[in-house]
Amino acid sequence: MIDQIKTEIAAQFGAESIVDVQLDGLQQALVIHPAYLVGVCGWLRDNPVYYFDFLSNITAVDYHPETKFAVVYHLASIPYQKQLTLKVFIANARTVENLPEIPSVSTVWKTADWHEREAFDLMGVYFSGHPDLRRILLPDDWEGYPLRKDYEDPESYHGIAIK
C-alpha cells in the first residue's frame, strides 16, 4: 500500500513532496516535505481510495544532540481499516527564539488541535496556522519543554520545590 500511496502523492504534488520512504522498524512511514504537508494530508483524507478520515496521534521526536526534530502523524481509515504513518523532519531549530516549525493540519482534522498543542507544550514544536496554539498541560508561565532530551528540571516553581 505504501508504494502505491507514494506514487500517487508524487504524481499529484510532485516528486519533491516525498522526501523518503522508511520501510524498516515497526511501522513503515512516508517522509513528507513540510511545504506539502497540509495538501498531502487533505488529499489523503478526501481521496475515496484511501479515506484517512481519522488522525490517531501526532507526536514529536527529539534527535538531540542534533538540532533535528521529527513530527510523526498516525492516520487511520476507519471504513477501510488501514493505517498510515507520515513523518516530517525539521532541522536547525532548538532555541526558544528558533522553535522547530511546521504547518498545522488542524484544518484537515479537528483532532489535530489538541495533539498539536500537546507537541507544542511538551516538545516546543511550533505549528504555524494553528487557531489557538498555547500550552495545554503545563502552566502558561512554565519555562522549557519537558520532553526534550536536553531539558533540565527546575528546582522550584513559584517557590514550591519540584525535586
Length of the chain: 163
Q: Return the DSSP state at 63.
A: -
Q: Return the DSSP state at 81.
A: T
Residue type, 4: Q
Tens digit of pLDDT for each residue in 57-69?
999 999 999 989 9
| Partners of residue 85 on adjacent β-strands | 29, 74
CA–CA dist 100, 48 (Å, integer):
33
> Is 150 in a helix, a strand, or coil?
coil
Tens digit of pLDDT for each residue in 32-44?
999 999 999 999 9
Sorted by where each begins, the domain ranges of the chain are 2-161
Give the number of other CB atoms < 10 A from CB of residue 106.
22
Query: What is the pTM assigned to this prediction?
Result: 0.93
Q: Residue 57 has what pLDDT? A: 97
| CA 36 to the chain's CA centroid | 13
* CATH top-level class of 2-161: alpha beta
Residue type, 120: F
Tens digit of pLDDT for each residue in 90-126?
987 777 678 999 999 999 999 999 999 999 999 999 9
